[in-house]
Structure 1
Amino acid sequence: MSPLIDAVFLLLIFFLVATMIKKEDKDIDIELPTSTSALKVKPDDRIMVIGIDQAEALYLQGEATTLTELMYQFRQLSETDPDRRIRLDTDKTTPFHKVVEVLNLLQFRGLTNIGIRTYDEHYNR
């Protein structure tokens, strides 16, 4: 009976540890623009992901948000971690003025470590 109890405890520990490792999905359902000269950057779990879809809706870390909330988050980030990496995901049909609007807010707060995600065969399979 004790080997069975040991096996059950080992399984319990395994599943507890495995659920802690799950990564948060920050992606939104958009069609990325293609690029022939994109740089490969190592993945970073601390990266802040801002998304804009084809309907000009804004997303922060995969959750729908507003421009006012983005401004608040940028202000907080500029005070606590101004060198944090920020990734901008936009649909290829997103109007450019919306992208510029978000980039202007980032620049206003002094956040300059920004990258724009493009389609990549390896990453997007």
Structure 2
Amino acid sequence: MSFKRQVSAEEGINLTPLIDVVFLLLIFFMVSTTFTKESHLQIDLPEATGEASPQRPEQLNVVVDAEGGYSVNGKKLINSQLDTLRRALSDASGGETKIPFVITGDAASSYQSIISVMDTAGQMGFVNISMTTRTPQSAEGSGSETQ
């Protein structure tokens, strides 16, 4: 009696269920992920730690208050327009753009106000621009101002 040999099927792993599971996981994570906008972030600016740089007698100080008003070397500007700021900076610096330019912004001031001061200073040719911050409040005393 002669028996026929059965041809054995090739052994292999079926990847179709694995691919289905991966796609289901991908869809699950895409649906369950929450997307937040940066405008929803609650932040309190600015605080930083570090050594205070030495004060130089010749420097240009611009202060931005919480309402977005500007003050140049202690003199409050009549409005918050950039042309007024540009004229005040030109008068205070005497055309000298190498002197240190220090921006002090209130923590509640808008980010746009600070950027506008930096942009105006850059357009006028100031290259030594720094910003002041305060050190975080400790339990013992008040924070100090640094640049």
**CA shift at 1:123, angstroms?**
4.4
Identity between Structure 1 and Structure 2 (%): 15
Q: Which has the higher contact order (CA 8 A, sep 6+)?
A: 1
Instruction: Tell me the distance in 2 between the aligned counterparts of 1:105 and 1:55.
Output: 18
Are the aligned partners of 2:97 and 2:126 in contact in 1 as well (CA < 8 Å)? yes
Aligned residues: 92
Residue identity opposite 1:53 in structure 2:
D
Is 1:49 aligned with 2:65? no
In structure 1, list runs of 5 or more residues that go unmatched.
1-31
Instruction: Tell me the distance in 2 between the aligned counterparts of 1:63 and 1:78.
Output: 13
Q: Which residue of 2 aligns with 1:64?
A: 76
Question: Which shifted more, 68-77 or 58-67?
Answer: 68-77
TM-score by length of 2: 0.54
Please state whether the residue corresponding to 2:55 is helix, strand or coil. Answer: coil
**CA shift at 1:93, angstroms?**
1.1
Instruction: Tell me the distance in 2 between the aligned counterparts of 1:71 and 1:98.
Output: 14
Deviations 1:16-54 (A, max 9, x none): xxxxxxxxxxxxxxxx72113x45210112111101111
Residue identity opposite 1:58 in structure 2:
Y
In structure 2, list runs of 5 or more residues that go unmatched.
1-44, 136-142
User: Post-superposition, which runs of at least 4 consecutive aligned residues in structure 1 deviate over 6 A?
Assistant: none
Select which of 109, 118, 124 maps to 1:94: 109
Structure-2 change in CA distance of 1:45 and 1:78 (3 Å) = closer
- When you count helix as a share of all residues, which structure comes out higher? 1
Please state whether the residue corresponding to 1:59 is helix, strand or coil. Answer: strand
RMSD: 2.4
**CA shift at 1:82, angstroms?**
1.4
**CA shift at 1:80, angstroms?**
3.1
Q: Which residue of 2 aligns with 1:114?
A: 129
TM-score by length of 1: 0.62
